[in-house]
Structures are given as structure tokens and as C-alpha cells.
Chain A
């Protein structure tokens, strides 16, 4: 395959950045998108140019590092996958492909396609934890009866890998899907009840502080989420938040 890549290049946080055009040849349709980027970087290095910086780690769709906005969609045109699982067979010979970093005030660009997603870490620190007795008589989690339905929903919420595709996709750069998944995975389980009120209030407060936008329920995040996190979680967080906002002391 022969492709024309239009890639965002930005030297550092303060650089204004711009789109550069790179032609690339001999792309196999079996390559993943990241492998294609590797080939491009080899080519750039051999030409004596600066390779394109991009995030990646596991390359099997579970780490949530690869954060590219490809041809107008987070993680590209395929559904339920991260960029590393996106294959070049989803594109056609001769295509022009735009590759941009995730765009949000909460995700400042560090270099080229690499963005700083520590805002998500700070939101997690604000409340994404539970209190567990670690003094030697920790209760076996399996000893607490939990309805299968709740356990399934909590697990589904917990599959969120924090990749930030929801923020990147949302027209408001809202982080509601991520935060709601992190709230829901605990809100559904007895272990999460202890800090439930404070958790949702603190995490939402941190989310707002980081400069993410508001949810207007367009539903784009749910469709672009590589892990299929459901909008149900956002409603659950809204419920938890309203309850806590009204009753918290």
C-alpha cells in the first residue's frame, strides 16, 4: 500500500506545532497502525529526520497508551480497538491519513503525538480507591456475597484502561465516561460503599479542576471506547453525585 500521512509535529509543550506530510510506500495490510508508524520512523531516521514521537507500550490493547486521533476518530476507524490493534487493512491504497494527538485542555501535548494524561492519575488519586484492612486478617473478597449482575457490571466498568479516547472523541473534551467507570466499579460493590459519597464528589471536583468539559450526552465516547464502557456508568455517576451532593455533610 502507498499512503500519504499527515502527521501533527510539535517539538515540545510550548511549540505551536503543525501538520507535516509524509509519503510512505510498501505498507503491508497486515501491519498494525503502530507498526506502520515504526516503518515511517525508520524511514525518517534513515533520511536524517526526527522520528515521530508516539506513545505505546503493550501493543495488545490493554495498556491504553497509544493515543492517536486517526482520520477524525480516536484510535482510528475500527470499533472496540486501540491504535495498536488497528490494522492497515482498514485503509485503502492511496489513502491520505491524518494522525493527530488527543486534543483536550486536560491532555497537553508533550511532543508530536504524545500527550500528558496524568490528569487521569490525579482524578484516580482523588477517590479511585477503597479502604482494605491489611493488618493480617484481611477478609477474602469472595466471602462477601455479591449479585452476579452487579459483579458483571462492576467488572465491565473496571475494564476501562484509561486511554482517554472518550475525552479525545467528545466534542466537549469531557472525561465523564472515564470518571464514571472508575466511580461505578466501586459504587456497585459492597467494598466501595465506605467512601462512596466522598469518592464521587472528590473525583468530579478533580475532573473539573483539570479543565475537562461537561457531558452533553452525545454518546460519542461510548462508541469510540475501545473497551465498550457503557453510558449507563455516566448515569450511575450522576445518580451517585446528586445523592452525595444533597446528603453529604
Chain B
């Protein structure tokens, strides 16, 4: 419990560092975040860490359940009258319940974001930006026109209207264009092999999060009618509340868990006990608080 718990504390810091980037909105911030999400999803070192995290969560939960079952068996006949508050904190006695709530939250949370990002076969919105192209409207009058473009992983831009998208890959010709070529030259022409892939886009996790917690329907780049299928979440408020409450649950779990892990590992020393206790309390308050601020800010501003 202690080792996996402390590893998960480290995971929380990493996760929080990523999430805090969501507090920034705007083209640059959106691009930076989506690039970061792409890096996190593809880097081999991060992949190893992510599997370690899944294993830790599972082991922490299973070990917790086994220990709880043993502990319940250790007192077959309950006391008729108990006064546990006189000698211990309620959250230190409720780690199993708090942990179960957190596990439920993790499942929901992974379904909200992780599943969409990594597993689901449904196409996910890709990162788009607006580009301004000068165009001569009439003699001597030049106007900027807005062109929506995908930003590719190799740093180039491709106009949304000129490519077909499969998953997150861009293909040069639309099927319409292939048909045109066929009609023009040779009705039996079949393009050799695959339609050439010209690049890959970034999954737009930033907009997914903003649409999830934002309650206003219209958003720059992301509207209800956007073909990416993103629209503001009708249930944004209940979800924001769910996330904030879950973070409060996490805070109490950590309030006991952080220092408890050190004790279980035998790391108890008169010189450092106070430091561990203070660090644990600070960690338990600051980390969940910062996590909880993000959906609230998005809800209030979007």
C-alpha cells in the first residue's frame, strides 16, 4: 500500500503539472497543450510510466480490499458502543471508503477523457487553427479571409477543406478529386496503393476538456455544429461538482495516506516526523485544490 501509494502521489504531481496548462486558453495555449498531450501519448518513457501507474492503481485497490477484508475478520463481534473520535481522525478510519470513491471517480474520469483519447474508435476532434489569408476581393481591395487549418505533427498547416481525415491522419486527395482524375484520364484508373498520407494532426484534448466543463454553447473553433462533433456539455455543472467533490475525497485520503505510507515503510524519525506530517498535509490540501480549480475556472469562463 505504501509503495504504490507514494508512487501514485508522484503521479498526481505529474498529472497536475499537465492539467495546470489547461488554465490558459487561446490559440497558443491550446496548441501547446495539445502538443504536450501528444507527447504524453507517444513517448516511450511516458508509456512505461503510464503502465506502472495502471498497475499501481490496480494493486493499491486490490491490496486495499484484501487488507480490509482481513481487518473486518479480525473483529467478528462488534462493540455495542464505540467512541472512535476520541482517539483517531475519521478519515484515517475511512481510507477504504474514500479509496472506493476515488476508484469510482478514476473510472468515470478515464471514461471522460482517457477513453476518448486512447481507446474509442469514434473520431476525436483534431487541433485546428484559424489562418488569415489576404485575398483580393475586387480591384485594389484586399481582405483577410479566414481559413481553417489543421496543424500537423511535423509543423505544417493543411487547410481543413483540402484533406480527408482518417483517425488523425490526413490524406491529400478527397475521394471527389480521385474520381475527377479517373474521369479525366482513364475510367479504369485506380490509384496505386494507398492514397498518400500527408501528415498527422494533434488530437484536440484542450477543446474536449473545454467543451466538457464549459457551459456556453458557442466557442471559438468549437461549436455545436462543428463537424468534429464537439458541443458544450449539457451536464457541465454536475460534472464540475462531481470533480470538485472527488478532489475533496482525494484530499482526505491523502491527508492520512501520505504520512501513513512513511510510517508503514518504517520511515519514522523524531527529527523528520514533523516535516513528513506538514508536507503530507500541505500535499493533501494543495494538490487536490489545484486539480479542482481547473474545471471550476473553465466552467466560469467558458
Decide: B266 and A217 in contact? CB cutoff 8 A: no
Residue of B whose beta carbon sits closest to that of A107: B75
Contact A105 B83 (CB under 8 A): no
Would A216 and B71 be within 8 Å (CB), given that A100-B79, A231-B268, A239-B266 are in contact? yes
B80 within 8 A of A: yes
Whether A238 sits at the interface, judged by CB under 8 Å, is: yes
A208 to chain B, nearest CB (A): 9
Interface size on B, residues (CB 8 A): 32
Residues of A within 8 A of B81 (CB): 6, 71-72, 98, 100
Residues B71 and A173 in contact, CB atoms below 8 Å apart: yes
Chain B 82-104, CB-CB to A under 8 Å as 1, else 0, gives 11101111001101000000000
Contact B266 A213 (CB under 8 A): no
Surface stretch bound by B, among A37-45, A58-66, A156-164, A219-227: A219-227
Interface residues in A, total, Cβ within 8 A:
43
A105 touches B73 (CB 8 A): yes
Q: How distant is the Cα of A104 from the Cα of B77 in the complex, in angstroms?
A: 7
**Shortest beta-carbon distance, B52 to chain A, in Å?**
21
Give every chain B residue within 8 A of A211 (Cβ-Cβ): 73-74
Of the listed residues A73, A171, A241, the one surrounded by the most CB atoms of chain B closer than 10 A to its CB is A171
A231 and B95 alpha carbons, distance in the complex (Å): 19
Chain B binding site: helix, strand, loop or mixed by DSSP? Answer: loop
Do B75 and A105 touch (CB < 8 A)?
yes
Residues in chain B near residue A216, CB distance under 8 A: 67, 71, 92-93, 95, 260
Say whether A224 contacts B92, CB under 8 Å.
no
Q: Which of B89-137 contact A (CB under 8 A)?
A: 89, 92-93, 95
Let me know if B260 and A217 touch, CB within 8 A: yes
The complex places the Cα of A69 from the Cα of B81 at a distance, in Å, of 9
Any A CB within 8 A of the CB of B42: no
Cβ–Cβ contact A235 & B267, under 8 A: yes
Among residues of A, the one whose C-beta sits closest to the C-beta of B74 is A213
Complex CA distance for A173 and B73, rounded to whole angstroms: 9
The digit string for A82-98, where 1 denotes a CB below 8 A from any CB of B, is 00000000000000001
Whole-angstrom distance between the Cβ of B94 and the nearest chain A Cβ: 10
Report chain B residues within 8 Å CB of A128. none
A171 to B71 Cα, complex, angstroms = 8
User: B264 at interface (Cβ–Cβ under 8 A)?
Assistant: yes
Interface string of B243-284 (1 = CB under 8 A from A): 000000000000010011001111110100000000000000
For the complex, give the distance between the alpha carbons of A8 and B264 in Å.
35
A109 to B76, CA, bound (A): 12
- Interface: A103 (CB within 8 A): yes
Set of chain B residues within 8 Å of A236, measured between Cβ atoms: 266, 268
Contact of B79 among A72, A105, A106, A214 (CB under 8 A): A72
Determine the chain A residues whose CB is within 8 A of the CB of B67 once the complex forms: 214, 216
Q: Does A133 contact B (CB under 8 A)?
A: no
> Is B73 a contact of A224 with CB atoms below 8 Å?
no
B70 part of interface (Cβ distance < 8 Å): yes
Q: How far is the CA of A235 from the CA of B269 in the complex (A)?
A: 9
The answer to whether A72 touches B82 (Cβ under 8 A) is: yes
For window 192-249 of chain A, which residues contact chain B by CB distance below 8 Å?
A: 211-220, 223-224, 231-232, 234-242
Question: Contact between A217 and B71 (Cβ–Cβ < 8 Å)?
Answer: no
Contact A232-B74, Cβ < 8 Å, known A98-B81, A223-B87: no
Q: Is B78 an interface residue (CB 8 A)?
A: yes
Query: Nearest CB to that of B73 among chain A residues?
Result: A105
The answer to whether B264 and A212 touch across the interface, beta carbons within 8 angstroms, is no
A234 to B75 CA separation, bound complex (whole angstroms)? 21
Residues of A within 8 A of B84 (CB): 72, 171, 220
Show 13 A/B contacts (Cβ-Cβ < 8 Å), sorted by A. A72-B79, A103-B77, A103-B79, A172-B71, A173-B71, A213-B70, A213-B73, A215-B264, A216-B260, A218-B92, A219-B92, A220-B84, A232-B268
Q: Knowing that A72-B83, A219-B88 are A-B contacts, what are 7 other residue pairs whose CB atoms are under 8 Å apart, sorted by A's residue number?
A: A103-B79, A171-B93, A172-B71, A172-B75, A216-B93, A238-B263, A238-B264
